[in-house]
Chains A and B, each alone.
Chain A
Amino acid sequence: MPKALQRLFLGLLLLLPLAVQAADADYFIAAKANEQARLLQDWAAQPDPARLELLSSLQQGRIAPGDTRKLRLNNRLRGLVDNALASHQLLSTDSAVRLAAARQLQKSAQPAQVAFLDRRFAGEADASVHAALALALANLQLVDSDPAVRLAAVRLLGETGDPMARTRLQTLLEPGVESTASVRTAAETSLAQVKRKLLIGELLGQAFSGLSLGSILLLAALGLAITFGLLGVINMAHGEMLMLGAYATYVVQILVQRYAPEAIAFYPLIALPVAFAVSAGVGMLLERTVIRHLYGRPLETLLATWGISLILIQTIRLLFGAQNVEVANPAWLSGGIQVLPNLVLPYSRLVIIAFALFVVVLTWLLLNRTRLGLNVRAVTQNRNMAACCGVPTGRVDMLAFGLGSGIAGLGGVALSQIGNVGPDLGQSYIIDSFLVVVLGGVGQLAGSLWAAFGLGIANKLLEPQIGAVLGKILILALIILFIQKRPQGLFALKGRVID
């Protein structure tokens, strides 16, 4: 049918929506679940623009904006609503909307919709939407009576890297399903194509999750690389510094919600300086009150800091309760980008990877390009000498420890975005952190960097093969063996022996 006529037709339809819709709505509410399901399927098969508003508000879980009647949906109905809405949106004049709708239909389209889709496909002007619709149709056409159509459909599916396509083709290839030889062979080749595409997606996925885990380990360990690596304090309370950072994030989130709801999207950014300040503050306090008395007695710092961690944990427990607290991802940190049909990169993880690298660079600059850094290195290499040169060792120690703790706090902010925030948060990271630092070579920032990513990727490569539990055990064993070979870690410093 020519475009002009079609538009006119649409216009006419749009004139009488309200009545229709109200009726539909009431009918829908009244109906039983099964009836509702049938309704939605019918609507999906014969879309009517008048229902657009109803369906979109159903998707929101409402009957209509402002309508307070209770609406009980379950997953099945939600799925059907999405599907019906999509086929309605195909009527939209906005090509972007149509594209999205077509994509949805690729997943959910039912045989009953074939006729409708065919019509839209024929009438579709926009190239990308056209392609998307072709695919949506192809999924359904696999069972078409006409071998030619099936053949085309199979060929088309071969183009996609869609996991669904794979199963569809596999079912097609099952004995007794597809009789026509040509279609079978085509299906086999398509299946091979699809599998290859999927494999790529999987490998990339593994690599990414390895990187992501690495970045998390790095953030967790970085603070320790300073307090332990440079100051030689076996800081068992390091994990609690992470925990404080996470709780700081939580508090900031609450406050922003209460006093500046419009800025809620950016609360993590606000949390960063706060978390740093809190952890650094606590760190410096501890350094002044306890740790400074223990320099040169590393194993004693272990015990003292362990005590500190116990106290911090219990304090948090009494203040915020033993339960986890809710830290929500802001919109820009939730969801992810669909790189391939079977590969989604969550924004939160992407951001965390970037953030981790940023913090590393920052730390490196601080240690190697600033006066403080110079002093820190001086003090850690030869305390007395530094003191003689007029370096205020006490203050430097305090600042260095503060810096380490503060960085841990930053790590806490990141962790709060992917994990749970509870009093025991720190405990679960402490051992990994130590391993990263030791493996990287104590006092070696670069070492920690490599160690963290190395561990992360190794972990993720092992997990699919032998499972998470054995994987972790194996990693630990490997580390122990590695340390045997290179007791100083990846980055060793050689030098003349002094006695």
Chain B
Amino acid sequence: MKRRSLIKAFTLSASIAAMGLSWSIQAAETIKVGILHSLSGTMAISETSLKDMALMTIEQINAKGGVNGKLLEPVVVDPASNWPLFAEKGRQLLTQDKVAVVFGCWTSVSRKSVLPVFEELNGLLFYPVQYEGEEMSPNVFYTGAAPNQQAIPAVEYLMSDDGGAAKRYFLLGTDYVYPRTTNKILRAFLHSKGVADKDIEEVYTPFGHSDYQTIVANIKKFSAGGKTAVISTVNGDSNVPFYKELANQGLKATDVPVVAFSVGEEELRGIDTKPLVGHLAAWNYFESVDNPVNSQFVADWQAYAKAKNLPGADKAVTNDPMEATYVGIHMWAQAVEKAKSTDVDKVREALAGQTFKAPSGYTLTMDKSNHHLHKPVMIGEIQDDGQFNVVWETEQPLRAQPWSPFIPGNDKRPDYAVKGN
């Protein structure tokens, strides 16, 4: 028996060694690009697909001859959902591997953990996820949505007749900074629209909370008081039990619509969506968006997933953060072309005002000063096939307000990126 497990161990290590080699075989003249997404631990659920998307985009760029005649060489590391490890790996990418740019992070805490490192070493980070704002670093480009590019339009929609003209709002979130800040902003916004505090309920659940009986019961109780909408910032894993409970307690979207800010196609893969039809999500991109760029994008991704036979490749889906990653990498590549160099300061300059025809069907612009993308906002309704049907969208991309005007004191903030805030 000893022998057997030893052999097991040996074969394992052998295969590992093989893996190891594949990294070292690379083109001579390359630009190293860091990819900093958790491949293990709790965040792997969301971040692995971003890693694959990044690799695909890089492959495409290389297929077109790379950037400035050099091939891009991805350096993938696994911060293992461990926040201090993010900082360590970030430093390693910048100092040891000397990468020109890093694409990565999902949670705000991971971004905040690497931020000092990037500011210290003047690195360049592209952050592809919607977040709570309240930050604007010269060393980070935010390709995800700021609150005013996701949360506020969603609420405006709920207030409209088509959205069901909701009078009462149940703000449900997992207890961490993104939901708290978002809800804070929303509350201020609702006040400005004349919604009284008695018509706003704010509830938080611990991480990985899986028993939503009480909360759904409360939602029902609350909704008896008038047309109610639930605004959910519940994070990843807790969504399935939440939606299942909703369905089983017979709370239909026609009675109480739920609009979620962190539920996309990827998350829906884990849920039986038939009972959820009509519930909403607000994003800047949906896989179902109908335009040539997107159909190409989706096709490429599905082909890539098959080719690399990623797990669950047969029903590979794209979602907003993946699109943001894709856009981010392309914009960076364009900027490098423009700057004729990968020097961070030159690239930063070149990025200002950079435009890219994105799968969302719009031509997105990197803002001149605030390091955020101008993004369109779309409200999608969950369909029984796990896709979203866009029921509302802004006429043109909105400029981001990372310093939300609804948070006191932000009016004094500068509208350009400065270190250390």
Contact = CB atoms under 8 A, between A and B. Distances in A.
Contacts of A74: 162-164, 278, 381, 391
Contact of B310 (A75, A321, A459): A321
Interface stretch (A92-100, A395-403, A420-428, A437-445): A420-428
Interface string B151-164: 00000000001111
A330 to B, nearest CB: 10
A338 interface: yes
B40 interface: yes
A347 B248 contact: yes
A75 B272 contact: no
B265 to A, nearest CB: 11
Interface string B201-234: 0011110111101110110110011100000000
| 5 closest residue pairs by CB, A with B | A324-B270, A321-B311, A163-B224, A328-B272, A420-B240
Contact of A335 (B5, B39, B40, B248): B248
Interface in B226-277: 226, 237, 239-241, 244-245, 247-250, 253-255, 257, 266-267, 269-272, 274-275, 277
Nearest to A429: B210
B48 A75 contact: no
Given A336-B249, A338-B250, A344-B250, A318 B311 contact: yes
Nearest to B48: A322
Contacts of A78: 253-254, 278
Contacts of A423: 44-45
A259 to B, nearest CB: 16
A163 B220 contact: yes
B196 interface: no
Interface of B: 1, 4-5, 39-40, 42, 44-45, 48-49, 161-165, 175, 203-206, 208-211, 213-215, 217-218, 220-221, 224-226, 237, 239-241, 244-245, 247-250, 253-255, 257, 266-267, 269-272, 274-275, 277-278, 310-312, 381, 389, 391
Given A329-B247, A418-B244, A468-B205, 14 more contacts: A76-B163, A202-B221, A213-B211, A213-B213, A320-B311, A321-B48, A323-B266, A324-B237, A326-B269, A419-B244, A420-B240, A459-B211, A468-B209, A469-B205
- Please classify the interface of chain A as helix (H, G, I), strand (E, B), loop, or mixed, using the class held by over half of its residues: helix
Interface in A150-182: 163-164, 166-167
A468 B212 CA distance: 10
Which residue among A61, A74, A206, A422 has the maximum number of chain B CB atoms within 10 Å of its CB? A74
B270 A325 contact: yes
Contact of A428 (B208, B217, B250, B310): B208
Which residue among B4, B270, B381 has the maximum number of chain A CB atoms within 10 Å of its CB? B270
A320 B218 CA distance: 35
Interface of A: 33-34, 37, 61, 72, 74-76, 78-79, 82, 107, 163-164, 166-167, 202, 205-206, 208-209, 212-213, 216, 288-289, 314, 317-329, 334-336, 338, 342, 344, 346-349, 418-424, 428, 459-460, 463-464, 467-469, 472
Contacts of A213: 211, 213
A468 B272 CA distance: 26
Contacts of B40: 314, 317
Contact of B247 (A206, A334, A469): A334
A469 B165 contact: no
B221 A163 contact: yes
Nearest to B248: A346
A164 B270 contact: no
Contacts of B5: 289
A27 B146 CA distance: 41
A167 B226 contact: yes
Which residue among A206, A208, A349, A428 has the maximum number of chain B CB atoms within 10 Å of its CB? A428
B42 A424 contact: yes
Contacts of A421: 270
B44 A317 contact: yes
Contacts of A212: 213
Contact of A468 (B42, B45, B206): B206
Which residue among B164, B175, B254, B275 has the maximum number of chain A CB atoms within 10 Å of its CB? B254
A346 B48 CA distance: 34
Which residue among B4, B40, B164, B244 has the maximum number of chain A CB atoms within 10 Å of its CB? B244
Nearest to A428: B208
Contacts of A82: 254
A90 B384 CA distance: 29
A420 B241 contact: yes
A326 B271 contact: yes
A491 to B, nearest CB: 26
A164 B266 contact: no
Contacts of A166: 224
A76 B164 CA distance: 5
Contact of B214 (A76, A216, A420, A463): A463
A459 B215 CA distance: 13
Contact of B224 (A75, A164, A428, A467): A164
A349 B248 contact: yes
A206 B214 contact: yes
Contact of A334 (B165, B218, B255, B275): B275
Nearest to A343: B217
Nearest to B237: A420
Which residue among A33, A288, A322 has the maximum number of chain B CB atoms within 10 Å of its CB? A322
Contact of B272 (A61, A208, A327): A327
20 contacts: A76-B163, A78-B253, A79-B164, A79-B254, A107-B255, A167-B224, A202-B221, A317-B44, A319-B311, A323-B49, A329-B248, A335-B250, A419-B210, A419-B240, A419-B241, A420-B237, A420-B270, A424-B42, A424-B237, A469-B205
Given A75-B164, A75-B278, A79-B254, A324 B214 contact: no
